[in-house]
Amino acid sequence: MLSFSVMALAAPADEAATAAVVAAEEAASESLLSVKALSAAIVVGVVATGGAIAMAIAIKKSLESIARQPEAGSMVRGSLMLGLLFIETAIIYALVIAIIIIFVL
């Protein structure tokens, strides 16, 4: 990155050198965009996988507790929905962070 800055400040003598500097800067920006896209994909993939596993565990445990005590089913169901909401919110936050990585950073 520093070498590109030094080349840009050196005031190239001809058009070919200017074109080379511009091409190098474009290649560097394309490479950075690829790294951003890859990191955003990893963030969303890991968080979505973790969220799916957490949701599966929560649903399994709530069904087990309803099977043991059917009279407490409505209370368990309400707690389950609240828990699933919090898990889904964490996944949405990860998506927002991935969008910020791509477009802002």
Domains parsed from the chain with CATH numbers: 2-103 (1.20.20.10)
pTM for the whole structure: 0.68
* Residue 99: both structure tokens together: 């969008």
pLDDT digits (tens, 9 = 90+) for 58-94: 999 999 999 999 999 999 999 999 999 999 999 999 9
